[in-house]
Amino acid sequence: MAVLIPCFNESGRVGVVVQSVRRVMPDAVVVVVNDGSADDTSAEALAAGAIVLNHASNMGYGAALETGYMYAYGNGFDYVLQMDGDGQHIAEELRSLLSPLEEDRADMVIGSRYGHPGNAFRPAFMRRAGHRLFALLLFAATGRFFRDPTSGFQGLNRRALELLAGGVLPYDYPDSDVLLMALMSGLRVVEIPVRMRPRTGGESMHSGLAEPIYYGLKMSLSMFIVLLNFRLWRKWKAVHGSPATAGKEGMRCTNASS
């Protein structure tokens, strides 16, 4: 099993994140994708015990994820758990993402910041509004409702890896559009509540005023393009088969395998 951490300028945080993962899941291979950081992200992650894959320049969050997915798929990992390098995602929750995969109840697990009694912080208003908007768009397109469709705290099995390592990811914001293509491709997706923290430092890729507006417009367009490509997802589903649909509420998780 691999734990994938895409990073851009997370020096001062990523080392602690890697150490926490290695403490909680000592058998996991921790893979940090350094997306052209200008600070000591790469050296810090390496010193903490991670395998580090470096981009020569900043290519975007989606490109960093795709690099990690391709590495994991090419090296035969059965499960990949992904988390951010800023300290927001809690390593102790990784096992919660893993159990539906190991129990073959899901191909993809989304960790939601909503619904867990241990979460004391609330996302900013614009972020919550975006979550609601994309949740409604996903529901309109698929009939499935996800409270936190932009969460980057996820678990994937090999079937999901095969789809996402195949060159379909957008390079900048792979969020609700990827969830939509996964559902249209027949992947079983469940959402579970997990604990999260506020960022411990650095700058969010959705910070400022203009960036969230651009993100909202870009994501809406990207989801529309995913819908237009329905034949591609239908073909993938036909070629790779469609496991029995997971329960629309799927919840909970634990353990590891490589």
The per-residue pLDDT for range 192-206, each reduced to its tens digit, is: 999 998 866 555 554
Q: To the nearest whole number, what is the mean pLDDT of the chain? A: 88
Rounded Cα–Cα distance for residues 83 and 88 (Å): 9
> Nearest Cα to 169, choosing from 89, 88, 225?
225
Q: How far apart are CA 108 and CA 161, in angstroms?
A: 9
CB 146 within 8 A of CB 128: no
Helix %, strand %, coil % of the chain (to 5): 40, 15, 45
End-to-end CA, the chain: 4
Q: Does the structure show a pLDDT above 70 at 5?
A: yes
pLDDT at position 92 over 50: yes
pLDDT bin (cut points 50, 70, 90) of residue 258 is very low
Answer yes or no: CATH 2.40.128.20 is held by domain 2-240: no
Q: Which two structure tokens, joined as six digits, stand for 257? A: 């395998």
Ranges of each domain in the chain? 2-240
Q: What does the pLDDT read at residue 122?
A: 67
Q: How confident is the model at residue 250 (pLDDT cuts 50, 70, 90)?
A: very low
Q: Which residues contact 20 (CB under 8 A, 6 or more apart)?
A: 90, 91
Q: What phi, psi does 190 have (nearest 5°)?
A: -125, 155
- Starting from the edge strand earliest in sequence, which strands make up the sheet with 51-55, in order? 51-55, 29-35, 2-7, 79-82, 154-157, 108-112, 189-193
Work out the pLDDT band at 253, boundaries 50, 70, 90: very low
pLDDT of residue 155: 98
Reply yes or no on whether the pLDDT at 212 is more than 50: yes
Q: Which of 95, 100, 99 is nearest to 247 (CA)?
A: 100
On the question of pLDDT at 31 being above 60, the answer is yes
DSSP lists the bridge partners of residue 196 as: 89
Tokens of 110: 């989304």
Provide, rounded to the nearest whole percent, the portion of the chain with pLDDT above 70: 86
Residue 89: the pLDDT is 95
Band of residue 226 on the pLDDT scale cut at 50, 70, 90? very high
For 113-136, write each residue's pLDDT tens digit: 998 877 766 666 677 787 889 999
Q: What is the mean pLDDT of residues 138-163?
A: 96
Percent of the chain with pLDDT over 90: 75
What's the whole-model pTM score? 0.86
